[in-house]
Amino acid sequence: MELRDIAHRTIHQAIEAVKPDVLIRRKLHLSGNRLRIERMTISLDTFQHIYVVGMGKASAWMAREFEQLLEGRIDDGVVVVKYGHSVPCQRIRIREAGHPVLDENGLQATAEILQIAQQAGEDDLVFCLISGGGSALLEQLPPGISLTELQETFQLLLASGANIEEVNTIRKHLSLVKGGQLARAIAPARCISLILSDVIGDPLEAIASGPTAPDPTTFQDAWKIVEKYHLSQKLPASVRNYLQAGLAGNQPETLKPNDPIFRNVQNIILGNNREALRVAEQTLREAGFHTIVLTSQVEGEAREVARVLSAILKEIAAFDLPLTRPAAVLMGGETTVTLRGQGKGGRNQELALAALLELKNVPGNYLLASVGTDGTDGPTDAAGGMIFPQMWQTIEQLQLHPETYLQNNDAYHFLKKVDGLIITGPTGTNVMDIIFFLVK
């Protein structure tokens, strides 16, 4: 089997393993009115009403499988997803909104979610379905800040090179629903959150900015990030003033771990990057490769990660160390890109292009792939990219200059010309990225 076929099979198997329907069928079981979620059992007949709210790229798929599991027991529900990520549900309304930048539809969907949260009483149960992307999709604006000003702020953050935890720290302190504040709206009803993690290490407070989780970060932490990326004079005045008012104690903080509201909240991780990596590794072992998973917590600039991975690939190709060929090295996580050009691409595509340049003179047969498990990479229709040595023939024939594409952050158009795009379409899940290379 060709390396490209093996790579595509590996990606498919890994993503399938962390799809919401697969995870819910594996980890949730209903017997009569008793719902078992891993080690926890809930008697559904003790609640007067059952509601479902949710946010994130995968929340519609979660909602569809969840309502099928509960067999008509849901009284009402609303989830908000990225445009193009809807699936039809019977009792749960699906709303589409902007991602990665909040838009008016996100505000309207959040208002519907809060309406359900606030009508839930102490004899009710609210399930919250959370997946990656929820930070941009769920929002209630703080006083004095307009949607346009918040959009401008997040565009600045996304272009600054800030990692997801840093972005979410600021998001939580420019919001009235993040950082545990949705849990406050749901109280006194019981809240159970089922979560697909798209954050390194699965910190509850960081996934979708922790709408039902305690938040250890403060306005002081948010302001330090603003200063770290030299954004204080670039931010809209209303945003800067709000954060500084929070520093002075004149705006309410997010909910902290000792808040009594969390006595009635359970946050449960259903799936994460490590599960996807385990299946990817198993697939490659069955294909005859010696394998190693380096980490599920990779972060940093995509170009720098590409340089490190390329160095390991070179070592295997030259010396059969640290693995003998055929070898497969895997990692997961989420890199970042500091925008310098005006091109089109995403972090996975940029990583692949940067690796291609690093591996230009490496002999032998190899392939490197980097893919977003949600099926989207940046503002493109690609999930990621892959590179292999045969590309250099195409590059010479078309007289392409990959260095120029990289400098312009234009990996998408380059990889499209050399047949290196990975296109899966929306997958219905989101557990960060899978990165691997194969050497024969």
pLDDT of residue 52: 98
Integer Cα distance of 139 and 128 in angstroms? 15
Domain ranges of the chain: 32-272, 274-439
pLDDT of residue 167: 85
The predicted model scores a pTM of 0.87
| Cis peptide preceding 252, ω within 30 of 0 | no
Return the pLDDT at 352: 98
21-73: pLDDT as tens digits: 999 999 999 999 999 998 899 999 999 999 999 999 899 999 999 999 998 99
Over the stretch 320-341, which tens digit does the pLDDT of each residue have? Answer: 999 999 999 999 999 999 889 9
Separation of alpha carbons 232 and 217, rounded Å: 19
Unique residue bearing structure tokens 């994460």: 272
User: Residue 67 half-sphere exposure, CB side, CA atoms within 13 Å?
Assistant: 24
Cα atoms found within 13 Å of the Cα of residue 352, Cβ hemisphere only: 39
Indicate if the alpha-carbon torsion angle 7, 12, 13, 14 is positive or negative: positive
Cβ proximity of 163 and 229 under 8 Å:
no
423 vs 430: CA distance, rounded Å:
15
Closest CA to 212 of 256, 181, 240, 187: 181
- Round to whole Å and give the CA distance between 371 and 436: 9
Which segments in the chain show pLDDT lower than 70? none
Q: What is the pLDDT of residue 100?
A: 79
Task: Give, rounded to a whole angstrom, the gap between the first and last alpha carbons of the chain.
Answer: 12
Instruction: Give the architecture (CATH level 2) of 274-439.
Output: 3-Layer(aba) Sandwich (3.40)
Whole-number pLDDT of residue 162: 86
- Element of type H or E holding 238: helix 237-247
Q: Which CATH number fits domain 32-272: 3.40.50.300, 2.40.50.140, 3.40.50.10180, 3.40.50.720?
A: 3.40.50.10180
